[in-house]
């Protein structure tokens, strides 16, 4: 009996420790909201303008982006900037028809008088970081603007951003992402709220309070000398943008975030694409944490910067904690109803832990972001329960990615499939999805389904025991796993049924062959 009692105590202790740690990360989000409102008026302002427009290079990295390649090249050529001071580099690592589409579009743009350079690599050494570094070797610009293939930069974006570099301390300027297909589906609406929280609250809070922020890989500009001073693009992590950002700021470079300047992009409209994107971000974040956090903590930076860097770079830990929380839920419920039935303190701790996790996970953080974007929060409030569901539902995918990143090797940079959607595009994009290489693993999808059913049994148990406080939150958790698993299976089924996968080219040669086409 004594050993059984000890086992119960261990289970309960683990459960409460997981809840407490998640609550700490949740409280950190509240602190970001506090910092945002405290420093919201500390907005970056231009101190002067360049007398003569500086030379600028726009880099457009792409890999198998046949549905959006032409659009981004044409959009870049429409940017309002003196043509004799602007160079556009199309950095194409593609192995499919994107090569012909991009090359043909570049030829047409050059014929129209634009300085467009087409650089095609026949292997993907270093992936996106390798492509950016390769382009930098021949780039003529003093400032480097980067746009991923699914973005549509507005024509006046350079005019709004470049003069911030008059301050010689500024090394990077980041614009805010907007969303072309926010209203397309429940999945894209929820993703938009997730990203709004990051861009509206998180970035602004860090940057305006003097803490480190990160470049987001696209819709931003670098001073070339800043990239070089920080050691250039590294490809030992899958988040080369996060890696370079911290190295540059440790060197003393100043970053600026301009939320009023936006560049719209496509949100993944399909679950497998969304999970692929989340996997890469989680894995790369864990890799960057392992690589840089020790040196950041050992640096002479102020404590506020170190603390924020710690929470930022270890945020992937929450995926493991959510997974542990869901797995320990049924034993914890059993303890509450049978072992601690007469212990008011323990029962109260259990109820508070569930409510604490749910409230700390999202509510204030995301409500504040929607309030700032739309000047109202009523419309977005109805999506907050599903936002929590989705966050729990992808925890297994992201926990696996973070484990690979922190304990494994770098791995392959798996691109997020782009479908060329904009606005409420109906289902036309689905005809293209079968031609994409799906990254989700079937075994993982079955595990997500099993977890959803397991949590559904927890819901049934709470109803049977009349524990009404836990019913709502456990139902959200169960729906999250079932939704993620269901859309994963649907996406895989549709991909097989709609199209046979595009034929893959043979293996890339060992040496890197570069093709440069200049005006």
d(CA 346, CA 356): 15
**Among candidates 309, 253, 251, 259, which has minimal Cα distance to 285?**
309
Q: Tell me, yes or no, whether 130 lies in a domain.
A: yes
| Whether residues 20 and 58 fall in one domain | no
Q: Which of 92, 93, 196, 439 is catalytic?
A: 93
Taking only the tens place, the pLDDT of each residue in 324-361 is 888 888 887 887 777 666 666 666 666 666 665 555 54
* Phi and psi torsions of 226, nearest 5°: -70, -45
- Residues 23 and 108 reside in one and the same domain: no
Q: Are residues 128 and 198 in the same domain?
A: yes
Residue 280, in any domain of the structure: no
148, 241, 243, 439: the catalytic one is 241
Domain-located, residue 82:
yes
List pLDDT tens digits, range 215-267.
999 999 999 999 999 999 999 999 999 999 999 999 999 999 999 999 999 99
Contacts of 59 (CB under 8 A, 6+ apart): 89, 91, 132, 135, 139, 144, 145, 146, 147
Instruction: Dump pLDDT digits (tens) for 1-38.
Output: 456 567 777 777 787 788 888 878 888 888 998 999 99
Convert the pLDDT of each residue in 437-495 to its tens digit. Answer: 444 468 899 999 999 999 999 999 889 887 777 788 889 899 999 999 999 998 887 76
Which CATH number do you get for residue 133? Answer: 3.90.550.10
Higher pLDDT, 254 or 365: 254
Q: Is the pLDDT of residue 401 over 60?
A: yes
Judged by DSSP in three states, 342 sits in coil
Report how far residue 211's alpha carbon sits from residue 203's, in angstroms, rounded to the nearest whole number.
10
Confidence of residue 425 (pLDDT cuts 50, 70, 90): low
Average pLDDT of the chain to the nearest whole number: 86
The reported pTM is: 0.88
Q: Exposed, middle or buried, 298 (CB in 10 Å: 0-12/13-18/19+)?
A: exposed
pLDDT at position 433 is 54
Taking Cα atoms as reference points, which of 11, 22, 12, 16 lies closest to residue 320?
A: 22
Domain that holds residue 214: 51-270
Residue predicted with more confidence, 178 or 6: 178
Q: 114 and 205 share a domain?
A: yes
| Residue 179 forms part of a structural domain | yes
Specify the pLDDT at position 423. 60
Strands 143-146 and 220-223: antiparallel
156 to 161, 162, 262: CA distances (angstroms): 9, 11, 10
Calpha distance 81→53 (Å, rounded): 8
**Predicted confidence (pLDDT) at residue 514 exceeds the cutoff of 70:** no
Question: Domain for residue 46, yes or no?
Answer: no
CA distance 116 to 89: 6
Quote the pLDDT of residue 507.
43
- The answer to whether residue 176 scores a pLDDT higher than 60 is yes
Distance from the Cα of residue 269 to its chain's centroid: 15
In a domain, 439, yes or no: yes
pLDDT tier at 506 (50, 70, 90 boundaries)?
Answer: very low
Classify residue 315 by burial, with Cβ atoms within 10 Å: 0-12, 13-18, 19+: middle
Query: Are residues 415 and 484 located together in one domain of the fold?
Result: yes
Q: Does one domain contain both 236 and 326?
A: no
Which pLDDT tens digit goes with each residue over 427-452? 555 555 554 444 446 889 999 999 99
Instruction: Classify 508 as helix, strand or coil.
Output: coil
Same domain, 157 and 189: yes
Domain-located, residue 296: no
- Confidence band of 505 (pLDDT split at 50, 70, 90): very low
d(CA 90, CA 481): 39
Segment among 53-57, 276-280, 336-340 with least mean pLDDT: 336-340
70 and 24 within one domain: no
Predicted pLDDT at 342: 65
Q: What is the pLDDT of residues 292-334, one digit of tens each?
A: 999 999 999 999 999 999 999 999 998 998 898 888 888 878 8
Query: Is 241 one of the annotated active-site residues of the chain?
Result: yes
Query: How confident is the model at residue 23, as a pLDDT?
Result: 79
- Residues 22 and 56 placed together within one structural domain of the fold: no
Mean pLDDT in residue range 48-54:
94
- On whether residue 341 sits in a domain, the answer given is yes
Residue that is last in its domain, among 270, 291, 306: 270
Q: Using N-to-C axis directions, what is the helix angle for 186-196 and 363-374, rounded to 10°?
A: 90
Annotate 92-154 with DSSP letters as a single string.
Answer: E--SSTHHHHHHHHHHHHHHTT--EEEEEESS-TTHHHHHHHHHHHH---SEEEE--TTB---
- Provide the pLDDT confidence category of residue 203 given band limits of 50, 70 and 90: very high
19 and 55 fall within a common domain = no
pLDDT at 112: 96
Tell whether 194 and 340 lie within a shared domain.
Answer: no
Q: How many domains does the chain have?
A: 2
Is residue 93 part of the annotated active site? The answer reads yes
Mean pLDDT of 59-76: 96
Please give the Cα distance from 352 to 280 (Å, whole number).
33
Mark whether 23 and 72 lie in a shared domain: no
């Amino acid at each position: 009996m004594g050993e059984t009692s000890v086992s119960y105590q261990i289970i309960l202790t683990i459960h409460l420790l997981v809840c407490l740690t998640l609550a700490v990360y949740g409280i950190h989000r509240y602190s970001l909201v506090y910092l945002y409102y405290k420093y919201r008026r500390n907005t970056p302002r231009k101190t002067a303008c360049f007398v003569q427009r500086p030379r600028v290079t726009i880099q457009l990295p792409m890999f198998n982006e046949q549905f959006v390649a032409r659009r981004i090249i044409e959009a870049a050529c429409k940017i309002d900037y003196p043509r004799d001071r602007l160079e556009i580099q199309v950095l194409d690592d593609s192995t499919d028809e994107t090569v012909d589409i991009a090359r043909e579009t570049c030829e047409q743009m050059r014929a129209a008088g634009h300085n467009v350079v087409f650089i095609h690599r026949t292997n993907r050494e270093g992936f996106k970081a390798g492509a950016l570094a390769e382009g930098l070797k021949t780039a003529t610009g003093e400032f480097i603007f980067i746009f991923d293939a699914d973005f549509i930069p507005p024509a006046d974006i350079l005019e709004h951003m470049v003069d911030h570099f008059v301050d010689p301390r500024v090394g990077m300027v980041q614009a805010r992402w907007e969303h072309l297909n926010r209203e397309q589906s429940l999945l894209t609406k929820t993703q938009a709220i997730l990203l709004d929280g990051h861009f509206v609250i998180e970035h602004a809070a860090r940057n305006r309070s003097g803490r480190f922020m990160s470049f987001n890989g696209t819709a931003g500009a670098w001073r070339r000398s800043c990239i070089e001073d920080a050691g250039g693009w590294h490809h030992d992590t899958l988040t080369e943008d996060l890696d370079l950002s911290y190295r540059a700021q440790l060197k003393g470079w100043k970053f600026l975030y301009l939320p009023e300047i936006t560049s719209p992009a496509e949100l993944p409209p399909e679950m497998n694409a969304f999970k692929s994107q989340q996997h890469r971000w989680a894995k790369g974040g864990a890799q960057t944490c392992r690589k840089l956090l020790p040196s950041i903590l050992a640096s002479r930076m102020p404590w506020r910067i170190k603390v924020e860097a710690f929470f930022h770079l270890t945020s992937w830990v929450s995926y493991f904690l959510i997974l542990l929380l869901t797995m320990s839920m049924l034993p914890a419920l059993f303890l509450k109803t049978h072992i601690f039935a007469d212990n008011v303190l323990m029962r109260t701790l259990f109820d508070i832990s569930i409510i604490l996790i749910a409230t700390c996970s999202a509510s204030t953080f995301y409500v504040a972001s929607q309030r700032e974007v739309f000047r109202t929060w009523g419309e977005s409030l109805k999506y907050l329960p599903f936002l929590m569901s989705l966050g729990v539902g992808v925890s297994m995918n992201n926990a696996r990615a973070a484990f690979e990143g922190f304990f494994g090797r770098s791995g392959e940079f798996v691109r997020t499939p782009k479908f060329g959607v904009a606005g409420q595009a109906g289902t036309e994009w689905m005809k293209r999805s079968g031609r994409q290489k799906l990254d989700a693993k079937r075994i993982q999808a079955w595990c997500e389904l099993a977890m959803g059913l397991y949590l559904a049994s927890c819901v049934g148990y709470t109803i049977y025991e009349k524990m009404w406080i836990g019913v709502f939150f456990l139902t959200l958790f169960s729906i999250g796993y079932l939704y993620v698993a269901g859309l994963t299976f649907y996406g895989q089924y549709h991909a097989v049924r709609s199209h046979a996968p595009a034929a893959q080219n043979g293996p890339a040669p060992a040496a890197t062959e570069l093709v440069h086409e200049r005006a």
